[in-house]
């Protein structure tokens, strides 16, 4: 269990908190690129307890700036988007994509270059893989996380964006906890994967630190004596590369879509969960992702505001373990059931929580590294982001699971 002070350190993300200062060292996906139309309506974005607007200028470039006009703090979500800038409705002040005030028509001409003297914050932005990414920290940003999907054609990628009504850490810790696959998802995973997970419901964990985060190897011993290892890759500050939803001996495994989950905090109590799926060698088919992303999203929308996440007790009596409509809804339900911020002073961790305990240790170490002027984990320039993905591995007992990895990952 954590102390109250440790729990607050783990969960708070505002600009004046140690965790918030650390998180500002990283790039964040903030919205789908398709949401921004040239000269279209600005989009409000809440990130790490602060409010911003994103917009696409006349020339197609993207701006990501503070929501409130530096003049009298009117919201720029109301602004006119025209002629490569946002024009505040209150007094006509205009800001370009860098956040610079380029016009202040309410000021007399005699004031000369008044607009240029107005101090505004400037944020870096990148449009990659169909997403808008922002860096809101100060100084030189960390290297952009050039994951495998970031260099693929857009038709190889599918993205789902889901709101979470709880703190980001609850959602993150669920994704790195591979033990719950044998329990929470026992009625939701594919038949072959369920057989592997149910063969050993208390896996052995081998968690090893990496320059970007850590490997989470959940090792299950099968009746044949063979071992099945599900290798989840955790990348700071909140990316989880999940193994494919098939057994590694499946004919479809090699060509199956890969995916990553990331939990981007709006503030201490709300989160956007991004599910990014990609296929390396071919366009991704809408049909193959529909069963998980589109159907789940439709079902999720119908459960918002319903008590107990629309759990079906009749379905449970008929044999379904949770009575909740599918795997992703199960993850969301248990995380939100803890409250908007879980009280970790009351928890009692076991050996199956090895990855959860490791995340907390790594996160606290990164906070200290940042506070002392060092380079937090995941921010060094030589991380092999392009090689990182989740994996399923079959191996015999005396063969290490690491043998299948590229040497750069070990």
- CATH architecture of the domain formed by 148-409: Alpha-Beta Complex (3.90)
Q: How far apart are the first and last CA of the chain?
A: 30
Burial class (CB within 10 angstroms; exposed 0-12, middle 13-18, buried 19+) of 250: middle
pLDDT, residue 294, reads 57
CATH 2.102.10.10 for domain 27-135, yes or no, is: yes
pLDDT, residue 212, reads 98
pLDDT, residue 248, reads 84
Flag residues of the chain having pLDDT under 50. none
Across 7-79, the runs of DSSP E, i.e. the strands, are 28-32, 43-47, 50-56, 62-66
In whole angstroms, give the CA distance from residue 244 to residue 380: 28
Place of tokens 């269990």: 1
pLDDT, residue 306, reads 59
pLDDT, residue 397, reads 78
Beta-carbon contacts of residue 308 (< 8 Å; ≥ 6 apart): none
pLDDT, residue 109, reads 82
Query: What confidence tens digit (pLDDT) does each residue in 280-291 have?
Result: 989 987 656 555
In the chain, what are the domain boundaries? Answer: 27-135, 148-409
- In sequence order, the β-bridge partners of residue 64 are 54
Spatial strand order of the sheet with 124-128 comes to 28-32, 131-135, 124-128
Query: What confidence tens digit (pLDDT) does each residue in 320-338 have?
Result: 999 987 788 889 899 999 9
pLDDT, residue 296, reads 56
Contact present, 335 and 177 (Cβ < 8 Å)? no
Which tokens sit at 218? 């959940």
Burial class (CB within 10 angstroms; exposed 0-12, middle 13-18, buried 19+) of 91: middle
In whole angstroms, give the CA distance from residue 59 to residue 36: 12
pLDDT, residue 215, reads 97
Beta-carbon contacts of residue 126 (< 8 Å; ≥ 6 apart): 27, 132, 133, 144
pTM of the model: 0.93
Place of tokens 């607007």: 53
């Amino acid at each position: 269990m954590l102390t109250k002070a440790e729990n607050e350190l783990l969960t708070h993300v505002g600009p004046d908190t140690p965790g918030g200062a650390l998180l500002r060292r990283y790039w964040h996906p903030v919205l789908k690129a398709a949401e921004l139309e040239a000269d279209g309506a600005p989009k409000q974005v809440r990130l790490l307890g602060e409010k911003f607007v994103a917009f696409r200028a006349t020339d197609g470039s993207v701006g990501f700036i503070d929501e409130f006009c530096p003049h009298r703090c009117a919201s720029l979500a109301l602004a006119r988007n025209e002629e490569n800038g946002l024009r505040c409705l209150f007094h006509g002040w205009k800001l370009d994509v860098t956040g610079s005030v380029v016009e202040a028509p309410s000021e007399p001409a005699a004031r000369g270059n008044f607009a240029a003297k107005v101090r505004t914050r400037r944020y870096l932005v990148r449009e990659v893989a169909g997403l808008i990414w922002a860096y809101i920290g100060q100084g030189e940003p960390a290297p952009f996380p050039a994951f495998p999907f970031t260099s693929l054609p857009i038709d190889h990628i599918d993205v789902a964006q889901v709101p979470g009504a709880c703190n980001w850490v609850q959602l993150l810790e669920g994704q790195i906890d591979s033990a719950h696959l044998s329990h929470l998802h026992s009625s939701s995973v594919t038949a072959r994967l369920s057989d592997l997970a149910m063969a050993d419901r208390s896996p052995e964990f081998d968690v090893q630190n990496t320059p970007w985060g850590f490997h989470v190897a959940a090792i299950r011993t099968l009746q044949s004596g063979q071992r099945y290892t599900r290798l989840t890759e955790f990348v700071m500050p909140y990316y989880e590369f999940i193994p494919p939803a098939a057994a590694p001996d499946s004919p479809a495994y090699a060509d199956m879509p890969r995916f990553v989950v990331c939990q981007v905090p709006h503030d201490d109590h709300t989160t956007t969960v991004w599910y990014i799926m990609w296929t390396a060698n071919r366009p991704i088919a809408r049909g193959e992702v529909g069963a998980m992303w589109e159907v789940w999203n439709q079902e999720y929308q119908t459960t918002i505001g319903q008590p107990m996440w629309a759990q079906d007790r009749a379905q449970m009596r008929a044999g379904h373990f949770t009575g909740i409509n599918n795997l992703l809804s199960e993850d969301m339900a248990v995380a939100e059931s803890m409250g908007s911020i879980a009280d970790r002073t009351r928890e009692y961790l076991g050996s199956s929580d090895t990855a959860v305990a490791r995340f907390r240790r790594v996160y606290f170490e990164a906070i200290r590294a940042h506070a002392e002027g060092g380079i937090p984990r995941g921010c060094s320039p030589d991380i092999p982001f392009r090689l990182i993905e989740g994996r399923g591995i079959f191996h015999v007992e005396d063969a290490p699971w690491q043998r299948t990895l590229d040497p750069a990952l070990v």
